[in-house]
A and B are shown apart, each in its own frame.
Chain A
């Protein structure tokens, strides 16, 4: 009987750092880390030295100093005596407005175009193809300045609305005025308003939230949740008896009626734009730079969304539709129960990355003078204070946070609809 001796204990040799796969990865990583830290240190050292030479040590004190410039489109009150930080906040809100409006419009247009591209109607499908190709293959910056030029050159000036026989007239029963300075639309007003609540006291990030808006949102949300309960009940009854009760009028009612009652209770009425002197007063004013940016971004992005929607629908094999039809489902329910849930899994991730692109492209606002975060913090504040390093890095950081929030939401969605495989 032989006894196996332990293999001889190898003593550690320096060459094992390179030749032994147990240690080599650590060696490589340490070398990479040293290289990386050296690079960072070199950049920081250069930056510090350069800034010291220029006499501009990094400092964020400029944020609290008065901005000294006006912003022409704002959601919250702001005067040119407010601080640079407040100006940046106004710009951030402007970025978010145009991003949200753009995402909604791009989705609506994109879905319609994507579905129509698959239409049986030859001429309509070709028309949509032309739309997609034209918008996809021309730079978005060109679309933005082009749309701005269209608005300025083709729409009437406010003075054209004056006189007994005006050259231009307002639309929709004198409620909407499209001028080359911007659009004037009716604004909702409440005669028995609940008032506003101010957040963040006197800090630069202070803003007011309308309680009316919160109340309306809450009522709508409660209505939608109730409607969901009705649908669940219908599902239960269908599972038990095989007959689905008719509930759409209940669902419709719980959403619409309380909201309508609330609006009536708050005394909803509209303030219409009116021509006074050389310009319109009243109503909500949307500058033409906002309109141009919004239209151009959403039409450009819609072309990409259309392709995504088309690819998503085509990705569902014909067998799925046929199997659903063989089960006796009607076309509408085939769409909502079989095709859409599967297509959405393909559509949503690239769709959200298009939302991300739209948000980032909204920084091109600077080309038409819309004051978003790029125009305020990285535009006028940068030029006035000369703080290139701080403003550019802050702007990048803000965009980075927005992007990470959106892609985080995408990851949550992806995980929730992922196919459960083995």
Chain B
């Protein structure tokens, strides 16, 4: 017997996978060239991309930024030794117009400030990752920068000093105190900073004032209407019951808005005239017009749409059928017909002598339009809730409005968020339709720019620029909707 043995006693070490299945080569084989048809498709795609880029890049890369007319652009392109190219001079000359329309040049800080403030106001609504301190700090910073550019005189200095003090104080809170210490302090009774949503609510009234100007008392008096309504509700609720109190509160607010806002604002303005230079609606144009119509219509149509959805799901037969009729009518007709109504008919429907301006009329119709679509989305959310949620709310003894506010709506709105955002995207894109009834949104402006002798014949540059503007905004909105869906997803996947 020998000690020979052919049995291996230790394991072989693993070998590396073959080069062709790992790394870049492996990825390419896996994703681009696995099989004949896939390879053909890959090559065809590459050829298509090459074809597009080989035409687009030389056209795009054109030294015409300083051209002052189409003819001069052609000379510049010829001088560069190219056959054709884009004429970017038109964008260089007209981009302020494409953004602001005919808004007075010296007042353009107002729309800019309005939209920067809009983001500050939206932050607590859209994102919950930023603390109160950061939010107030941001607001003070924006206002401080604005005063540097806009205001002068002793009032501006006082405002700047106050804002700097506020920034230092909040900044110290941010830098010095730890979050946990601050939480302990608050638990012990220290004052918190006010909720930044207060500013968001106030911004609803600040924005029209900034854009249209006029006396500062008009938005204040308008906002006071909510105080009037709420006050009437609080006073009447113990006496007459919550339903009657709510109806009377609404009536009181409406009466205030219809009959008292004007005289009160005028009177206060007589006492203390503070205000901005008024800007007429017809001077609005370009992207400013689209964004104004979009933002106002979106913010008003959301509550309106929720009410309509509740009406449609209601047990009250008449309320239900009125909501259904309204929603189906609006959804059944194209927006352009509603804009024709705004342009031709809305003044006919109003009492004789009423003549409110076209932009307001368009905003009203756009609001009604998107409210109907929001209502359908929210109804989907309401219908998707399990019946148990409604029954549990009833079992807890909550009345209708409490059940909606505390149990139904938070869940239903969460489900409907992607739909709501896509309605908003659609509405924002549809604001371009106002060019058909003669308003100067970006597309309407592009037509009037082409009517200029210097730029007669410019097509691609203007359309491309408009498409770029809209693409950026709507793309960001759709990404935000995806982010929100992820954030609100509470199930485990």
- List A residues at the B interface (Cβ < 8 Å): 18-19, 24-25, 28-29, 31-33, 36, 43, 46-47, 49-51, 53, 119-124, 127, 133-134, 136-142, 145-146, 149, 153, 360-361, 363-364, 366-367, 374, 378, 382, 388-389, 392, 395-396, 399-400, 403-404
* Chain B residues with CB below 8 A from A396, complex form: 333, 337, 341
- When the two chains form their complex, are residues B352 and A121 in contact, meaning their CB atoms are under 8 A apart? no
- When the two chains form their complex, are residues A137 and B336 in contact, meaning their CB atoms are under 8 A apart? no
* Chain B residues with CB below 8 A from A366, complex form: 336, 436
Which residues B35-72 have CB closer than 8 A to chain A?
Answer: 38, 41-42, 45-46, 48-49
Since A46-B352, A123-B45, A395-B337 are in contact, a sample of 14 more A-B pairs with Cβ atoms closer than 8 Å, ordered by chain A residue number, is: A29-B318, A119-B41, A121-B38, A121-B45, A123-B31, A124-B41, A138-B470, A139-B430, A364-B336, A378-B337, A399-B334, A399-B337, A403-B331, A403-B332
- When the two chains form their complex, are residues A363 and B334 in contact, meaning their CB atoms are under 8 A apart? yes
CA distance A305 to B472 in the complex (A): 22
- When the two chains form their complex, are residues A121 and B435 in contact, meaning their CB atoms are under 8 A apart? no
Contact of B49 among A28, A127, A149, A374 (CB under 8 A): A127
With contact pairs A124-B42, A399-B333 given, residues A46 and B463 touching in the complex (Cβ less than 8 Å): no
- When the two chains form their complex, are residues A139 and B429 in contact, meaning their CB atoms are under 8 A apart? yes
CA distance A404 to B331 in the complex (A): 10
In the assembled complex, 5 residue pairs joining A and B whose CB atoms fall closer than 8 Å, in A order, are A31-B247, A121-B45, A122-B31, A139-B470, A399-B334
CA distance A140 to B331 in the complex (A): 18
B453-468: CB near A (< 8 Å → 1, else 0) gives: 0000001100100110
Least CB distance, A248 to chain B, in whole angstroms: 23
3 A-B pairs closest in CB distance: A403-B332, A122-B31, A388-B344
- When the two chains form their complex, are residues B349 and A43 in contact, meaning their CB atoms are under 8 A apart? yes
Least CB distance, A296 to chain B, in whole angstroms: 12
- When the two chains form their complex, are residues A121 and B345 in contact, meaning their CB atoms are under 8 A apart? no
Contact of B334 among A28, A123, A360 (CB under 8 A): A360
For A362, the closest partner residue in chain B by CB is B334
- When the two chains form their complex, are residues B466 and A120 in contact, meaning their CB atoms are under 8 A apart? no
For B468, the closest partner residue in chain A by CB is A138
With contact pairs A378-B337, A403-B331 given, residues A142 and B432 touching in the complex (Cβ less than 8 Å): yes
Which residues B303-353 have CB closer than 8 A to chain A?
Answer: 315-319, 322, 328-329, 331-337, 340-341, 344-345, 347-352
With contact pairs A122-B32, A124-B42 given, residues A392 and B316 touching in the complex (Cβ less than 8 Å): no
- When the two chains form their complex, are residues B318 and A363 in contact, meaning their CB atoms are under 8 A apart? no
For A119, the closest partner residue in chain B by CB is B41
For A146, the closest partner residue in chain B by CB is B463
* Chain B residues with CB below 8 A from A142, complex form: 432, 443, 463, 466-467, 470
- When the two chains form their complex, are residues B348 and A50 in contact, meaning their CB atoms are under 8 A apart? yes
CB of B433 within 8 A of chain A? Answer: yes
For A126, the closest partner residue in chain B by CB is B45
CA distance A267 to B315 in the complex (A): 64
Q: How many A-B residue pairs have CB under 8 A?
A: 151
- When the two chains form their complex, are residues B45 and A46 in contact, meaning their CB atoms are under 8 A apart? no
CB of B243 within 8 A of chain A? Answer: yes
* Chain B residues with CB below 8 A from A382, complex form: 344
- When the two chains form their complex, are residues A32 and B443 in contact, meaning their CB atoms are under 8 A apart? no
* Chain B residues with CB below 8 A from A392, complex form: 337, 340-341, 344-345
With contact pairs A121-B31, A138-B429 given, residues A25 and B459 touching in the complex (Cβ less than 8 Å): no
* Chain B residues with CB below 8 A from A49, complex form: 351-352
Contact of A367 among B48, B318, B436 (CB under 8 A): B436
Least CB distance, A114 to chain B, in whole angstroms: 16
* Chain B residues with CB below 8 A from A18, complex form: 241, 243-244
Contact of A120 among B31, B241, B352 (CB under 8 A): B31
* Chain A residues with CB below 8 A from B474, complex form: 136-138
For B478, the closest partner residue in chain A by CB is A137
For A140, the closest partner residue in chain B by CB is B429
With contact pairs A32-B316, A138-B470 given, residues A124 and B337 touching in the complex (Cβ less than 8 Å): no
CA distance A360 to B333 in the complex (A): 7
Contact of A363 among B34, B46, B241, B337 (CB under 8 A): B337
Least CB distance, B304 to chain A, in whole angstroms: 15
B419-461: CB near A (< 8 Å → 1, else 0) gives: 0000001000110110110000001000000000000000110
CB of B127 within 8 A of chain A? Answer: no
With contact pairs A33-B318, A140-B429, A141-B433 given, residues A361 and B334 touching in the complex (Cβ less than 8 Å): yes
CA distance A33 to B318 in the complex (A): 7
- When the two chains form their complex, are residues B471 and A134 in contact, meaning their CB atoms are under 8 A apart? yes
CB of B390 within 8 A of chain A? Answer: no
- When the two chains form their complex, are residues A120 and B336 in contact, meaning their CB atoms are under 8 A apart? no
* Chain A residues with CB below 8 A from B470, complex form: 137-139, 142
Contact of B432 among A141, A403, A404 (CB under 8 A): A141
With contact pairs A32-B318, A46-B352, A389-B345 given, residues A153 and B478 touching in the complex (Cβ less than 8 Å): no
CA distance A51 to B352 in the complex (A): 10
For A366, the closest partner residue in chain B by CB is B436
Least CB distance, B376 to chain A, in whole angstroms: 10
CA distance A49 to B349 in the complex (A): 9
CB of B475 within 8 A of chain A? Answer: yes
Least CB distance, B488 to chain A, in whole angstroms: 19
CA distance A153 to B458 in the complex (A): 11
For B33, the closest partner residue in chain A by CB is A121
* Chain B residues with CB below 8 A from A361, complex form: 334
- When the two chains form their complex, are residues B429 and A388 in contact, meaning their CB atoms are under 8 A apart? no
CA distance A46 to B352 in the complex (A): 7
- When the two chains form their complex, are residues B348 and A363 in contact, meaning their CB atoms are under 8 A apart? no
- When the two chains form their complex, are residues B430 and A46 in contact, meaning their CB atoms are under 8 A apart? no
Least CB distance, A353 to chain B, in whole angstroms: 9
Which residues B344-382 have CB closer than 8 A to chain A?
Answer: 344-345, 347-352
With contact pairs A121-B31, A399-B337, A403-B331 given, residues A32 and B322 touching in the complex (Cβ less than 8 Å): yes
CA distance A49 to B471 in the complex (A): 46
Q: Which of B247, B317, B333, B429 has the most CB of A within 10 A?
A: B333
CA distance A388 to B351 in the complex (A): 17
For A24, the closest partner residue in chain B by CB is B243
- When the two chains form their complex, are residues A28 and B319 in contact, meaning their CB atoms are under 8 A apart? yes
For B34, the closest partner residue in chain A by CB is A120
- When the two chains form their complex, are residues A363 and B341 in contact, meaning their CB atoms are under 8 A apart? no
With contact pairs A139-B470, A146-B463 given, residues A121 and B32 touching in the complex (Cβ less than 8 Å): yes
- When the two chains form their complex, are residues A388 and B459 in contact, meaning their CB atoms are under 8 A apart? no
